[in-house]
Amino acid sequence: MNAPILQARGLMRHFITNKPLFGAPSIVQAVNGVDFEIIEGETFAIVGESGCGKSTLARLLSHLIEASEGSVIYDGREISGLTGAELRDLRREMQFIFQDPFSSLNPRMTVGALIGEPLRIHKIGTPAERRAKVAELLRKVGLRPEHADRYPHEFSGGQRQRIGIARALATGPRIVIGDEPVSALDVSIQAQVVNILEDLKDEFGLTLIIIAHDLAVIRHVADRVAVMYLGEIVELGEAAEVFAAPAHPYTEALLSAIPIPATGARKVQTKIEGDPPNPISPPSGCRFHTRCTYVQDICRTERPQLRDMDQGRRVACHFADNMSLEGIRTDNQARPPAVARRFARYSAARASMTANTESAKLEKEE
Amino acid sequence: MTASKPLLDVRGLSIRVAGAARPLVDDVSFSLDAGETLCIVGESGCGKSLTALALMGLLEGTPLRIDGGTAEFQETDLLSAPQATLRALRGDRIAMIFQEPMTSLNPALKIGDQIAEAVCEHRDVSREAGRARALEMLKRVRIPAAESRLDEYPYQLSGGMRQRVMIAMALANDPALLIADEPTTALDVTIQAQILDLMRNLGRETGAAQIMITHDLGVVAEMADKVAVMYAGRIVEAGTVTQIFDDPQHPYTLGLMSSMPSLAGRSERLVTIPGTVPSPLDMPVGCRFAPRCPFADAACEAPPQLVDLEAGHRVACWHAPIEQAEPTPAWRETA
Ligand SMILES: Nc1ncnc2c1ncn2[C@@H]1O[C@H](COP(=O)(O)OP(=O)(O)OP(=O)(O)O)[C@@H](O)[C@H]1O
Ligand SMILES: Nc1ncnc2c1ncn2[C@@H]1O[C@H](COP(=O)(O)OP(=O)(O)OP(=O)(O)O)[C@@H](O)[C@H]1O
Ligand code: SF4
Ligand SMILES: [Mg+2]
Ligand SMILES: [Mg+2]
């Protein structure tokens, strides 16, 4: 097991939301005491409903915002204490990919200038070397060196997200954090970008932190997954284990809500009722107790700690030890043999379309 | 197939921007019986919303024109009927739900009054009766503490609650047809699951037929009796939900399904569809999927018709079933 590259210790961040017409301003505890470590080379995923604090956590980890309390430790050093050269190193070694490929790229810069910008900022290489590096990065993400002279608006969503990835990789980072990097993309384009991310991760030995609300994408890319609810981590563990046998009722509810694209998987009734509570006044005790099917008295008053279970699993539920919850069933998703053969045929035919052809076509369609 | 006439029978619907060379929606046909749910699925820009808007008579005021086709609904052709007829049908016999409820709810009006207004517009009833119906509908879509919600404004509700209000309003006049355009796309998966439950149950209770537009094949599997897969303005494959998921035929359908990461396990690389959707200005003349299709050959330079492969299962591909097709040897040469 590798050493942790990044650690969160009692991490908290609150925001003061708009002052109401009367009364005191309300405070949202967006991240409320989070502890975990990320191992060098792994893909670590953060999931949870809108507003649960995923983006805030990602921003804290990458030092884009300051923690209200607690600390982030990168490579043995606390990031809030970094200054000068050390802070620049951190900025170079930890990069961010944003969700929206449309608004995250400056429309007035060429693609070459956009990808080369981090190199210029960090004073890496001569101008000629930077151009060569940009060309190499473009190829790596499945675009072409000639694309360096074009502007972002000339590219499709998936291509723009590739530009964002190339830019994140320019400085040779050790950690890349993607905040919903494929959420804005259509399925067919999303798959292209997911493949590129995985290839690059293998090639460069990156540590990848991915936020996504699509649990199938997470199941596909992640080694480990942290499930958040209202600013807290409620479950953390190996992705395969968590999906197959969740240990927190919220994880079970989340998994049960995913519509599965296969016949025979149709659900009778959803396992989760109600809306997520207002984060300004979160429920007492276990924050999930208002929606939990297994709620007991103790849950309303006592906050469950994130406790260690078997196989590196951590769960914040009073009853984690004696519940057996339902994960994703996989036995009902097998394809009939004839159809499996048809998919294999598609896949083989797809593979015989050469990479060259692919970029030539991309070129043509712009 | 049923002997009686379908509730909605769309034939050859085409839509184009006035003056444009090629239609945006091209020769779309499908039919729907009472109580059935049809899902129209496809990626962004393939023409799902335009199809729905055309059926609702809502293309007025856009540069888009209906270029051909009929859509027979209870003795009325929705595509040629005068606006007055369509206005009377909309919100009454045919109701619609959009992705973003905020755009279709009036932010300045209490939700109880909005639903009551929708009722009074089409029924000769008193305000009180309208309000009573509003309350009944809010309860029906399982809004907690419905009485007190009647006097709240849309901004006071969560996204999921607003979508419930939209559904309550849409169903207030017992429509025969409900068209829902991505009703859950903006919602969290837990809330989506609740709304899908609700729509499925209400469909069953009221007998309303539903056209549900989505880009999520998971939602299709949850909801559909019938499915139409659209690509670049055309239906490329249509059939029962079982036919589409257990016997997909069109290379685009296969590609779409292969592109989806599986919840069942960490597979190897995803099998993707290369390239991107063609732009409406540069639509291939033949099969619109040909530039991205691993089976395309010279035959595909002519547009394939949507033909019956077996009862109710229609595919628009020259090489279906692809068991007999060869992968394109010409790929290298055309590059
Ligand atoms: N700058 C800010 N000012 C005030 N409140 C904020 C700010 N940023 C986040 N919040 C609040 O903090 C909470 C967590 O927000 P965050 O953006 O981290 O959630 P998220 O999990 O990323 O959600 P989503 O899936 O919608 O992106 C929310 O209640 C949000 O409204
Ligand atoms: N008012 C308009 N004028 C010109 N073109 C339009 C107009 N509205 C839509 N289009 C074009 O028609 C095509 C189909 O659009 P439509 O909105 O039906 O797609 P969709 O399948 O609903 O996509 P999405 O999943 O993104 O909602 C797109 O190429 C779109 O750019
Ligand atoms: S008609 Fe040709 S190009 Fe179109 S899907 Fe079938 S094989 Fe592919
Ligand atoms: Mg976020
Ligand atoms: Mg649409």
pLDDT digits (tens, 9 = 90+) for A290-339: 999 999 999 999 999 999 998 899 999 999 998 899 998 766 667 788 88
C-alpha dist (Å) from residue B91 to B56, B169, B187, B326 = 10, 8, 24, 50
Mean pLDDT of B189-207: 88
pLDDT in the model for residue B46: 92
- Helix (H) or strand (E) run with residue A114 in it: helix A111-121
Q: Using pLDDT thresholds of 50, 70 and 90, give the confidence band for residue A252.
A: very high
Q: How far apart are CA A131 and CA A148, in angstroms?
A: 9
Residue of A nearest to B334 (CA): A357
Identify the residue whose C-alpha is closest to ligand 2 atom 26. Answer: B44
Q: Using pLDDT thresholds of 50, 70 and 90, give the confidence band for residue A213.
A: confident
Domains contained in chain B, number: 2
The distance between the two most distant Cα atoms of chain B, rounded to a whole number of Å, is 73
Least confident of A126-130, A162-166, A351-355, B42-46: A351-355
Q: How far is B161 from chain A (nearest CA, A)?
A: 8
Q: Using pLDDT thresholds of 50, 70 and 90, give the confidence band for residue A182.
A: confident
**Residue B198 forms part of a structural domain:** no
C-alpha dist (Å) from residue B208 to A336, B94, B176, B177 = 33, 9, 5, 5
User: ipTM, 2 decimals?
Assistant: 0.87
**Residue B192 forms part of a structural domain:** no
Residue ranges of alpha helices (H) inside A143-277 are: 157-169, 187-204, 215-221, 239-244, 249-257
Q: Based on the number of CB atoms within 10 Å of its own CB, is A243 exposed (0-12), middle (13-18) or buried (19 or more)?
A: buried
Residue B261's domain comprises 248-334
Least confident of A161-170, A283-292, A300-309: A161-170
Mean pLDDT of A265-287: 81
pLDDT at residue A361 greater than cutoff 60: no
Q: Using pLDDT thresholds of 50, 70 and 90, give the confidence band for residue A2.
A: low
Identify the residue whose C-alpha is closest to ligand 3 atom 1. Answer: B317
Distance B329 CA to ligand 3 centre (A): 14
B chain contacts of residue A155, beta-carbon cutoff 8 Å: none
Q: Which of B188, B326, B83 is nearest to A215 (CA)?
A: B188
pLDDT at residue B295 greater than cutoff 50: yes
The residue count for chain B: 335
Q: Give just the sign of the alpha carbon dihedral B71, B77, B82, B84.
A: negative
Q: What is the DSSP letter of B142?
A: T
pLDDT in the model for residue B282: 84
Pocket residue to mutate for ligand 3, from B285, B295, B322, most atoms within 8 A of Cβ: B295
Residues with a CB atom less than 6 Å from ligand 3: B 250-251, 287, 289-290, 293, 295-296, 300, 304, 317-319
pLDDT in the model for residue B45: 87
Encode B226-265 in three state secondary structure.
Answer: EEEEEECCEEEEEEEHHHHHHCCCCHHHHHHHHHCCCCCC
The terminus-to-terminus CA distance of chain A in angstroms comes to 45
Considering B172, B198, B226, which residue would you say is the last residue of a domain? B172
pLDDT at residue B332 greater than cutoff 80: no
Q: How far apart are CA A8 and CA A345, in angstroms?
A: 46
pLDDT in the model for residue B335: 33
- Kindly list the domain boundaries of chain A, sorted by start residue: 4-222, 227-365
pLDDT at residue A269 greater than cutoff 80: no
Q: Is B332 on the interface with A (CB under 8 A)?
A: yes
pLDDT in the model for residue A158: 81
pLDDT in the model for residue B158: 80
pLDDT in the model for residue A335: 78
For residue A16, which atom of ligand 1 is closest to its CA? 4
Residues with a CB atom less than 6 Å from ligand 1: A 15, 17, 28, 30, 48, 50-56, 213, 279
Mean pLDDT of B283-311: 93
pLDDT in tens, B270-281: 988 988 888 888
**Residue B125 forms part of a structural domain:** yes
Least confident of A201-215, A269-283, B234-248: A269-283
Q: Using pLDDT thresholds of 50, 70 and 90, give the confidence band for residue A263.
A: confident
Paired tokens of B302: 């002519």
**Residue B314 forms part of a structural domain:** yes
Cβ neighbours, 10 Å, residue B253:
25
Q: Using pLDDT thresholds of 50, 70 and 90, give the confidence band for residue A156.
A: confident
**Residue B80 forms part of a structural domain:** no
Q: Say which residue the tokens 């069942």 belong to.
A: B264
User: pTM for the complete prediction?
Assistant: 0.91
CATH 3.40.50.720 fits A4-222, yes or no: no
Provide the mean pLDDT of chain B.
89
Q: Say which residue the tokens 């003349």 belong to.
A: B285
Q: Which of residues 124-183 of A touch B (CB under 8 A)?
A: 156, 158-159
Q: Say which residue the tokens 């033949």 belong to.
A: B286
Q: Where are the beta strands (DSSP E) in chain A?
A: 4-16, 27-39, 43-47, 69-74, 77-78, 94-97, 175-179, 207-211, 224-229, 232-238, 307-308, 314-315
Q: How far apart are CA A284 and CA B127, in angstroms?
A: 42
pLDDT at residue B2 greater than cutoff 70: no
Provide the mean pLDDT of chain A.
88
pLDDT in the model for residue B44: 87
The residue count for chain A: 366
Least confident of A157-166, B3-12, B265-274: B265-274
pLDDT in tens, B119-151: 998 988 998 999 999 999 998 888 888 888 899
pLDDT in the model for residue B191: 87
Q: Which of B241, B279, B332 sits opposite A354 (nearest CB)?
A: B332
For residue B50, which atom of ligand 2 is closest to its CA? 18
Q: Say which residue the tokens 């919303």 belong to.
A: B49
Mean pLDDT of B50-55: 95
Q: Is A345 on the interface with B (CB under 8 A)?
A: yes
Q: How far apart are CA A159 and CA B182, in angstroms?
A: 25
Q: Using pLDDT thresholds of 50, 70 and 90, give the confidence band for residue B333.
A: very low
pLDDT in the model for residue B74: 93
Tell if the CB–CB gap between A345 and B264 is shorter than 8 Å.
no
Considering B172, B192, B226, which residue would you say is the last residue of a domain? B172
pLDDT in the model for residue A188: 86
- pLDDT above 90 covers a percentage of chain B that reads 64
Residues with CB under 5 A from ligand 5 (ion): B 49
Q: How far apart are CA B301 and CA A26, in angstroms?
A: 62
Considering B172, B206, B225, which residue would you say is the last residue of a domain? B172
pLDDT in the model for residue B267: 64
Mean pLDDT of A166-177: 92
pLDDT in the model for residue A333: 63
B chain contacts of residue A188, beta-carbon cutoff 8 Å: 43, 255-256, 259, 272-273
